Structure formats: structure tokens, C-alpha cells
């Protein structure tokens, strides 16, 4: 474990806060009730803490007030029980922060159109927090961001109140590590990395998380904790970029890249399998590496690996469209005028999140080339697509036979693969969903 800064004597505010946390009498708040914030709020509620969730989305707040979960990984039964017991409540009013002892900020951090960090949601939350900051409050940022955000952006604003960090209030960063749709790892059992601005800040944040989470990993500073998250997702982005480039190479060489990966994965050391796909999706992997490269550029350093991986990954939707053209050409058809079905618009299997989904890029390119597009996704019943309101179509043998090409973009477990294979006229499989099947109608990534 990294060496910690010398421990200082705790202030009265720190002693009082630690007592409330240990006795579970502390009133907690989570700002941002999305796929990160709501699971965290529910876990704290299960530990017996009173939790007030704050979100600017009034519809989310109404659903929670009715005891309904809108996050697939959070059972409605859990939300209903906590709301009924008074341990979980939700509001759009930031004035609720006046009464809380600890605040976890879990707001979005997208990229701007120029692919620079957009920290406007963090800034807005910090402004609201500064209005209600009081002695003894613990503030933890969980939103993924560039190294330095906690101490360069949040800390100065909070200290403008006249309170001193580490003595009067406590500030830390702890990166979210949520993996939506993962049945094995969840908020409670994923190790929690924590870095505080001062040793006492770290102690307070670690103490809070240890009341419910199975393992907490303290590090020496917020910058280390911020970099941890970016390293994790940059590692994935770069390795996916490598295997995507290998897939493009294997296509030229007429080699089955999936067979190559399976064989390489038999090596018991020195190799970790990554798999090609139609592109990167979700809020983390397509975005986080650019936070790191942006910070690197600001420091006069060129992150060439990161930029190259991003370039490779971003061209994969275009490659999929080329595969669609190849598949149609076998029947003497062109993309223009062809009816094409996209299977799956969520960015990964068995979730409902379409953020940064490569399926949308594929659909856009196909539409621009004159294709007639429909989609099927049991997790996304409707889709706003460039001003069009699309609805997911049901998969039946008769309907599958209507399409000139079916594109497997997201391999949801619930798709009827045998029917798709039997009744689809031409199939582009970007996920190796039809592994083991040999058919001339299949074109694999």
C-alpha cells in the first residue's frame, strides 16, 4: 500500500462525524441518481443510513418516491422497502444538503464536441454544495474526471466559504467502478479506491465506505485515485484497439480472428483475451482515455497510445457498414434501398444504456447510404434517432425474412439465435454471437 501522509490529530468536527458514521446516525446524500448514484444510495440505505438522493431529473425523483427503480441492476423491491422505511428519499431541491453529514457526487462527465472534458455538471453540483457546506461535512466526488479536478476545481470553491479542509470539512475522490449488467460484481463487492485531500479526509471517506462495502483501498491523494480510474479504462481501450486492429488485419488475410483469440487464450500466463467489436460504447471506455490525453496535452505530453487506440476504435462502425455492403453484394444488392435490421442498440449486452453506442453510428451511416433501418432491442423499446421516433420490432420468422440483412450489433442473451440464423437472409455478426455455426449467409467481424 502507498505510504500515507503523517496522521494529524483529529479535529472536533472529525471526531463528531466519525462517531455519527460508526453509529449509522449520519445523514447521507447522493447527488446524481443514475447508474452510479442510485446503487450507492441503496447500499447506504441497506446499511441503515438515512439517505437523501438529489437529482435534477424530476421524473427520476417521482419514480423513486413511488418506490420504483429505473436502473436494471437495482431491484424495485429494494427501493420500495427503503422508501417505505424512510431510509431513502429523493428530491430535486439542493437545500436538502443543509441537513446532511456526507455527500457523494455522482454526476455525468461527458466530452465536449471538441473531445475536451465537460465538467459543467461537477461545477454546478459544487456551486450548490458550497451554498450549503457546513462544519463537519464530508464531500466525496465519484464522477470520472481528469487528475487534479478535486483539488483544482472543487477544493478552492469550498474553501471560499471560510471553512478549512481536513479540519472543518473533508474532501476526497473515489472513482466509481460500476459495470452495468454484471451479475458477479456490484457496488458492494467491487473494491473502493479512496484518496483524500488530507489524511483525515481519507480516514473519514474510508470509514464511511467501510460501513457497507466489502473492501476499501486508501491511496495517498485524490490525484492518485483520479488516475486509477483513467488507467483502468485506458487499459481496456488500448487493448480493445489492439484487437480491433488485429481483426481488420485478419480480414485482409482471410483469417478467423475469433479462432486466433480463442487459441491464444489457452496460454496460462502472459495473455489476457480482449475481443473485437463494432466500436466502443458506454459512458466510460470511449470517454475516459480522452480525459487522460487532454490532461497530458495540458502538461506538454503527447499520449500517442491513447490517441491511436481511439482512432482505431472509432473506425469500427465504418468497417461494419463495409461488411454489410459485402454481405448484400453476395446477393447482388446494394445498401441503398435495402431493408436492414439492427439487433441491439444498447452499448453492451443485457442492459438498456445506449450512450455512445456504436449501433447508433452504424445506423446513421447506413441511413446516409440509403438503407431502410429498423431495430430490435428488448431493453430499449423506443429510440430517438436523429429526430425520428423508432420502436423496437418483435422478432418473428416472418419478420426476419423481410430484411435483406440482419446486423448483430449487441448480443443480448434473449435474442432467438437459432431463428435469426434460420430465417435471416444475410447476417453480419459483429459479436461472434453465432459462434460454432457455419453458414454462407454469415459475415463475421
Confidence band of 1 (pLDDT split at 50, 70, 90): very low
Using the predicted structure, report yes or no on whether residue 113 has a pLDDT greater than 90: no
Whether residue 2 is contained in a domain is answered as no
Q: What is the pLDDT of residue 94?
A: 97
Q: Which residue, of 220, 251, 285, is where some domain finishes?
A: 220
**Claim to verify: residue 291 and residue 430 sit in the same structural domain:** no
110 CB neighbour count, 10 Å cutoff:
13
Using the predicted structure, report yes or no on whether residue 127 has a pLDDT greater than 60: yes
**Claim to verify: residue 273 and residue 210 sit in the same structural domain:** no
Mean pLDDT in residue range 7-36: 93
Cα–Cα dist 59/365, whole Å? 33
**Claim to verify: residue 258 and residue 332 sit in the same structural domain:** no
Mean pLDDT in residue range 5-21: 84
**Claim to verify: residue 240 and residue 341 sit in the same structural domain:** no
Q: Which of 107, 118, 119 is nearest to 56 (CA)?
A: 107
Using the predicted structure, report yes or no on whether residue 63 has a pLDDT greater than 80: yes
Using the predicted structure, report yes or no on whether residue 319 has a pLDDT greater than 50: yes
Q: What is the pLDDT of residue 8?
A: 57
Rounded percentage of the chain residues whose pLDDT exceeds 70: 98
What CATH code is carried by the domain that includes residue 304? 1.10.1040.10
Cell of 302: 503527447
Whether residue 43 is contained in a domain is answered as yes
- Write down the residue that cell numbers 450549503 correspond to: 132
Mean pLDDT in residue range 418-438: 95
How many residues in total does the chain contain?
Answer: 445
Q: What is the mean pLDDT of the chain?
A: 93
Cα–Cα dist 55/114, whole Å? 27
Whether residue 323 is contained in a domain is answered as yes
**Claim to verify: residue 410 and residue 439 sit in the same structural domain:** yes
Whether residue 6 is contained in a domain is answered as no
**Claim to verify: residue 303 and residue 347 sit in the same structural domain:** no
Whether residue 7 is contained in a domain is answered as no
**Claim to verify: residue 74 and residue 197 sit in the same structural domain:** yes
Q: What is the pLDDT of residue 290?
A: 79
- Distance between alpha carbon 293 and the CA centroid of its chain, in Å? 19
Q: What is the pLDDT of residue 35?
A: 92
Mean pLDDT in residue range 257-277: 96
Whether residue 3 is contained in a domain is answered as no
Q: What is the pLDDT of residues 351-395, one digit of tens each?
A: 999 988 999 999 999 999 999 999 999 999 999 988 889 999 999
Q: How far is CA 313 from CA 157, 284, 318, in A?
A: 38, 14, 10
Whether residue 335 is contained in a domain is answered as yes
**Claim to verify: residue 289 and residue 393 sit in the same structural domain:** no
Q: What is the pLDDT of residue 283?
A: 73
Q: What is the pLDDT of residues 227-244, one digit of tens each?
A: 999 999 999 999 999 999
Q: What is the pLDDT of residue 2?
A: 47
**Claim to verify: residue 247 and residue 326 sit in the same structural domain:** no
Q: Which of 106, 201, 250, 284 is catalytic?
A: 284
Number of domains in the chain: 3
The one-character DSSP state at 96 is G
Where residue 311 falls (left for φ over 0; alpha for ψ -120 to 50; beta otherwise) is alpha
Q: Which residue, of 314, 330, 350, is where some domain finishes?
A: 314
Confidence band of 421 (pLDDT split at 50, 70, 90): very high
Strand order of the β-sheet with 27-31 is 88-91, 50-54, 27-31, 102-105, 138-141, 170-173, 192-196, 216-218
Contact 260, 249 (CB under 8 A): no
Looking at the DSSP bridge assignments, the partners of residue 385 are: 388
Using the predicted structure, report yes or no on whether residue 53 has a pLDDT greater than 80: yes
Q: What is the pLDDT of residue 7?
A: 55
**Claim to verify: residue 46 and residue 141 sit in the same structural domain:** yes
Q: How buried is 293 (Cβ within 10 angstroms: 0-12 exposed, 13-18 middle, 19+ buried)?
A: buried
Q: What is the pLDDT of residues 277-290, one digit of tens each?
A: 999 887 777 777 87
Whether residue 210 is contained in a domain is answered as yes
Using the predicted structure, report yes or no on whether residue 10 has a pLDDT greater than 90: no
What CATH code is carried by the domain that includes residue 87? 3.40.50.720
Cα–Cα dist 387/190, whole Å? 39
**Claim to verify: residue 215 and residue 228 sit in the same structural domain:** no
Mean pLDDT in residue range 145-173: 96
Active site residue 284: yes
Q: What is the pLDDT of residue 438?
A: 86
Cα–Cα dist 248/276, whole Å? 9
Contact 212, 46 (CB under 8 A): yes
Confidence band of 334 (pLDDT split at 50, 70, 90): very high
- What residues make up the domain containing 271? 223-314
Mean pLDDT in residue range 152-180: 96
Q: Which residue, of 198, 220, 242, is where some domain finishes?
A: 220
Q: What is the pLDDT of residues 69-102, one digit of tens each?
A: 999 899 999 999 999 999 999 999 999 999 999 9
**Claim to verify: residue 211 and residue 229 sit in the same structural domain:** no
Amino acid at each position: 500500500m502507498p505510504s500515507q501522509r503523517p496522521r494529524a490529530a483529529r479535529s472536533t468536527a472529525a471526531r463528531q462525524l466519525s462517531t455519527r458514521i460508526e453509529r449509522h446516525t449520519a445523514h447521507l446524500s447522493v447527488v446524481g441518481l443514475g447508474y452510479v448514484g442510485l446503487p450507492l444510495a441503496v447500499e447506504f440505505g441497506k446499511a441503515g443510513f438515512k439517505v437523501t438522493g438529489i437529482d435534477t431529473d424530476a421524473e427520476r425523483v417521482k419514480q423513486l418516491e413511488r418506490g420504483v427503480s429505473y436502473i436494471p441492476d437495482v431491484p424495485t423491491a429494494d427501493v420500495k422497502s427503503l422508501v417505505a422505511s424512510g431510509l431513502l428519499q429523493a428530491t430535486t431541491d439542493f437545500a436538502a444538503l443543509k441537513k446532511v453529514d456526507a455527500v457523494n457526487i455522482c454526476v455525468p462527465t461527458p466530452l465536449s464536441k471538441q473531445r475536451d472534458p465537460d465538467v459543467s455538471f461537477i461545477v454546478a453540483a459544487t456551486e450548490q454544495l458550497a451554498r450549503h457546506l457546513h462544519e463537519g461535512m464530508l464531500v466525496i466526488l465519484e464522477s470520472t474526471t481528469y487528475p487534479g479536478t478535486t483539488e483544482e476545481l472543487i477544493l478552492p470553491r469550498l474553501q471560499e466559504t471560510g471553512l478549512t479542509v481536513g479540519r472543518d470539512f473533508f474532501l476526497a475522490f473515489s472513482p466509481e467502478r460500476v459495470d452495468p449488467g454484471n451479475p458477479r460484481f456490484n457496488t458492494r463487492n467491487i473494491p473502493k479506491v479512496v484518496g483524500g485531500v488530507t489524511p483525515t479526509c481519507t480516514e473519514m471517506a474510508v470509514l464511511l465506505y467501510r460501513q457497507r462495502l466489502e473492501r476499501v483501498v486508501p491511496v495517498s491523494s485524490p490525484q492518485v485515485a483520479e488516475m486509477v480510474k483513467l488507467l483502468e479504462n485506458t487499459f481496456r481501450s488500448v487493448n480493445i484497439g489492439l484487437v480491433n486492429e488485429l481483426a481488420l488485419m485478419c480480414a485482409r488475410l482471410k483469417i478467423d480472428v475469433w479462432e486466433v483469440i480463442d487459441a491464444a487464450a489457452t496460454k496460462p500466463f502472459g495473455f489476457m483475451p480482449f475481443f473485437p467489436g463494432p466500436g466502443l460504447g458506454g459512458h466510460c471506455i470511449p470517454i475516459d482515455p480522452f480525459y487522460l490525453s487532454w490532461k497530458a496535452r495540458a502538461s506538454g505530453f503527447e499520449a500517442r497510445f491513447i490517441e491511436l487506440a481511439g482512432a482505431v476504435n472509432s473506425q469500427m462502425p465504418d468497417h461494419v457498414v463495409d461488411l454489410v455492403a459485402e454481405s448484400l453484394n453476395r446477393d447482388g444488392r446494394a445498401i441503398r434501398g435495402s431493408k436492414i435490421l439492427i439487433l441491439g442498440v444498447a452499448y453492451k449486452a443485457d442492459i438498456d444504456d445506449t450512450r455512445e453506442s456504436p449501433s447508433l453510428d452504424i445506423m446513421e451511416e447506413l441511413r446516409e447510404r440509403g438503407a431502410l433501418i429498423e431495430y430490435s432491442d428488448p431493453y430499449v423499446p423506443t429510440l430517438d434517432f436523429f429526430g425520428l421516433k423508432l420502436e423496437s420490432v418483435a422478432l418473428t420468422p416472418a419478420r426476419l425474412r423481410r430484411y435483406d440483412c440482419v446486423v448483430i450489433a449487441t448480443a443480448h442473451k434473449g435474442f432467438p439465435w437459432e431463428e435469426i440464423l434460420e430465417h435471416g437472409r444475410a447476417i453480419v455478426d459483429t459479436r461472434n454471437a453465432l459462434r460454432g455455426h457455419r453458414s454462407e449467409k454469415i459475415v463475421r467481424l
